[in-house]
Amino acid sequence: MESVVQEKRLTFKDYKSDYKPVWCPGCGDFSVLAAITKALAELQVPREQAAVISGIGCSSRIPAYTSVYGFHGIHGRALASATGLKVARPDLTVVATGGDGDGFSIGGNHFLHACRRNVDITYVVMDNEVYGMTKGQASPTTPPDWEGSKLTPHGTGVSPFNPLSVALSAGASFVARGFAGDPNGAAKLITQAMQHKGFSFVQILSPCVTFRPEQTEWKKIVRKGEIEETGNLSQAAAFLARDDGFSTGVLYEVQRAVFQPALQEKHTLQEIEESFEL
């Protein structure tokens, strides 16, 4: 009788690299890294079939801290790289990671069009309402009255960017918010996002205790969002319009056509060069 060799089940530790994170003590990104690796382990994604793509910023270091394929790109371009990879290799599980500055400022245009294009990738944004890596400037999601930056000592006076509402109006087919203080809950959300077919956006409230120490209070006000029908666009929009930014959970999910162009046969370098001849 032939013996059956049972494959070892991967754990979240198997998805972590040997590099030790250099984030500040107490940074919420530690929990987000744990949540992403737990999600990969929950779905048992083969490490050679997963890729984590990032831009620039504290949170964008995540590819180096995972043991899957990774690409650390330039500022604001994580979604462009992730989209190109997924279109070329639809068999891969592609996760893009970044922060509120990288994703909503210089990367804002890519964010809008990634939402409406609906390529099957997951975008995890660690939002701490500050540029932490460059020593505490206001970011697109910073409240207008925050006076903690030397660049804007009297506050920005600018209305903050609302990522979930923008994602919803731009056409994202999966919209969710989690909290770094609840890594298991964040892992569940990211797992659901990876399982969703289409563009999945997950905002994670990730406190920066170094430049925004008041964010330690977030754990007292974060709560589960109460939405009965997550596929109802009007209901989700109305909910987010009155939300204070601390409701968590899947706030919108709908199935629609995934953008995936038909792949063409490979061409030789000579054929590619000839196609550009005038």
Sequence-separated contacts (24+) of 16-25 with Cβ below 8 Å: 16/65, 16/66, 16/67, 17/64, 17/65, 17/66, 17/67, 19/64, 19/65, 21/61, 21/65, 22/61, 23/58, 23/61, 24/132, 24/208, 24/209, 24/210, 25/209
* Binned average pLDDT, 10 residues per bin, the chain of 278 residues: 66 96 95 98 97 94 96 93 95 97 93 97 97 90 91 91 96 97 96 98 97 96 86 93 95 94 79 84
Task: Measure the CA–CA gap between 93 and 200, rounded to whole angstroms.
Answer: 12
pLDDT, residue 213, reads: 95
Give the relative orientation of helices 183-195 and 29-43 as an angle to the nearest 10 degrees: 50
Supply the angle between the helices 108-117 and 78-88 in degrees, to the nearest 10. Answer: 30
| Assigned token pair, 205 | 């409230």
Burial class for 258, CB neighbours closer than 10 Å (0-12, 13-18, 19+): middle
Please tell me the predicted confidence (pLDDT) of residue 6: 59
Q: pLDDT at position 5, please?
A: 53
Count of C-beta atoms within a 10 Å radius of residue 61 = 19
pLDDT of res. 1: 46
User: 28 with 180: CB under 8 angstroms?
Assistant: yes
Check: CB of residue 137 under 8 Å from CB of residue 78: no
